[in-house]
Each structure stands twice: as structure tokens, then as C-alpha cells.
Structure 1
Amino acid sequence: MYDGSYTVKRYWHDVGPHGKLVFKFELTRIPDQPELAWKEVKKLNKYKIWKGRCVDDISGGKELFPICAVNTIDNEKPPTFNYMTKMKYPDCFSPIPPRGCDCIGGCLDSQKCSCVLKNGGEIPYNYNGAIVESKTLVYECGPSCKCPPSCYNRVSQHGIKIRLEIFKTESRGWGVRSLTSIPSGSFICEYIGELLEDAEAEKRHND
């Protein structure tokens, strides 16, 4: 969990339970740093009435958890927009779905699953749905696959599982923060919207 900038006061190593060296560090937080967003959220969670809440759910019920908007700076609300959960493509664009895998019970056999083979022969996620190794591109099982929704190679398609909040900043407009700590490598949300060609984008007042 990111908690600001620290200096290393001292370090040493011990022998771990399996005979491996374990390096340990004593850190000192650099003073006069601003409070971080997750600390502010933790304070807000203590109150039954959410201070500054101006919109209860910007998704309009389209997500598993409501995404509220909070403004403790002024009386402004987030600008109105159409919240989307699926990509919108131009009429001339007709994507061809890729051929799916034939795994019935799940994609545990890395040598037989065509999707896993695209990922280098290993499912890129662990059992908690977090990326195990950094990759340029991750191939998930999709609608053409025969594996069940519980397949470990289906993560992003299950939607947002982390509670998020839109909040107004003092000088940088609106931002997004999490109401809980996020484990490393976890899926947060998809970047979804309308796909525009350059010519169409130039015609739009706000593209």
C-alpha cells in the first residue's frame, strides 16, 4: 500500500523459516507530507452521514456497488454523462469474435487451452484474480469459450469488485479513489466508451 515517501533508517537480514535470507528495513516517513486519500477515506468511514456526498451513484445502478460522488470543496456536482458498461463501436465496425477454447470444466490444463497458450502457457491470474506477472497483453477466456464463468482466466469481465468513489479536488478537478486498500495486481475497472474515428471525433463538440 502506497503511504508516501520514506527514508531507510537501517536494514538487516535474518534467516527465514526455509533457510532463505529475509531482508528487513526500518523506514521513517518523511515529515510534512499531505495526508493520503485512503487515510481521508478511513476517517470518513467513521461517520454514518457521508460528508459532502452530492451523487449517490453515478453508474445509475449499473455496477455491483454504487459509485458515489463526494465534494467537500464547493457545491459543484460532477458533469452529466452517459455511464456505459459496454464498448460502443461505429456502425461500419463489425468485430469478429475470436475462436474460444474447448475446456469444459475449466482451463487448468495449460497444454490444451488455446487461451492459456496465448498467455505463454500459464493463466496470468492467481486464485484471487490478481495479475501474477506483468504482461503487455493478457488474453482472457471469452464468450466463445466453453469454460464456465468461474474459470480463473475470467477476471475483468465480472465487473468492478472494488468500491470506488468520485471526489472533488482543490485544484485538479474530479478524481477517483478506492474506499478500501487494493492488493497488488488486482483488477480495478475497464476503460470503456465510444470508439470514434478521427474524422468523427473532430466533428464532436466534446469528443
Structure 2
Amino acid sequence: MIRIVLCYLLTQHLFHVVIPYCPNGCNAQGTCGQNDRCTCFLRQDQNDISLTNTYPAYKGADCSLRTCPHGASWVSVPSADNAAHPLVECSNKGTCDYATGLCDCYLGYEGKACERALCPNNCNGRGLCLTLQDIIYKDPDQLSARSTTKYTAWDGEKHMGCLCDQGYRGPDCSIKECPSGLDVLLGHGKNEGRDCGGGAGKLQSRNGRL
């Protein structure tokens, strides 16, 4: 009888399963593993600016804090040749609300991960706000072969600029232009534009002469 009891106790000891205990059960937002440590679930949002399944959707010892969308950092220290601008929360141009997982972007930036710079004054309603990549293909004044040229730098979809409507120019399309014609003062038959930014009836040449 004693032998049977000893065999039973030994069997229970050998096959005893230790169930890990993690703080707050990882809040059902992660798995509990060795040393009672949580491994938080990865992001699954296919519409996120970030690369899906590359970083946790939650963080903290108990996975209680949400992470915010990641984007290429606006400012970073290069880690090697041609290696910079790693993915960081809110593209380091905003603060993360860990309760909601949403970025609060700094003034002048927008996007889920604060990944885009706003156009100055929203182009004053006189032009299109486009990425550098798009402007290259849409601006009729570009001299490059747009059909074979593609802007692939890291900021191609981050920096924004104004493509002004006809009759306006400037960084924010705030300068009104007068119709162009032959500049008889130059004597070369050259089309020279005029700025009409000084108010009604005031004409100012680009080269400062009337």
C-alpha cells in the first residue's frame, strides 16, 4: 500500500504542470510565457501607415497600454550608410495617447502617424496640396522626363507642397499674377510675368522694373 502511494505521489510530481501567472492575465491583449512575462499581441491593422505585424499593438508589463501608429521618423541619427529614419511612434512629430492609441500631432503635421507635413496655409484655396512625389508628375513646368523619373527619397510622401492654380504662385499660392506678355523693356521678345500682389492697379515686375 505504501509503495502504491509513493508511486502516485511521484507520478504527480513528474507530470505536474506549472501554470504561469502574469499580471492581470496580460489583459487578454497578450500571452503569458516564461518567467511570468507577457508578450503583447502585434498590430493587425492593415490600414495603418505602419508595417503590419512588426511591432506590438500593446505594451507595458501587463499589455495595458496601447501603442500608436508608427511612421518614418522625421529626425533620427543614421545607424549606417543610407540607413536612417526608422519607424517610430507618431513619426516623432506628435505625442501618443496610450489610452486610445491615437497620435496627437504637432502643429504643421497630420496623418494617423503624423507622417505628413501640412501645406502652408492650405494653399489659400488656390491650388492642390500634393506630395513631392505627385508634384513631379503633375507640374507642367518640370523639365525632367516625368514618364521615366520617380522620386523615391524617404520624404517623397511626407513633404507636401502647393501646385497653384493658374494665375497664382508662391509657396502658399498667395501671390496673384497678371497676364504675361512680351517684355519690350528687355528687347528680347521674352514673355515676362508680372506680380499683382500690390493691390488693384499696382503692377510690379519680377525683375523690379515697370
Q: TM-score, normalised by structure 2?
A: 0.19
Q: TM-score, normalised by structure 1?
A: 0.20
Q: Which has the higher helix share?
A: 2
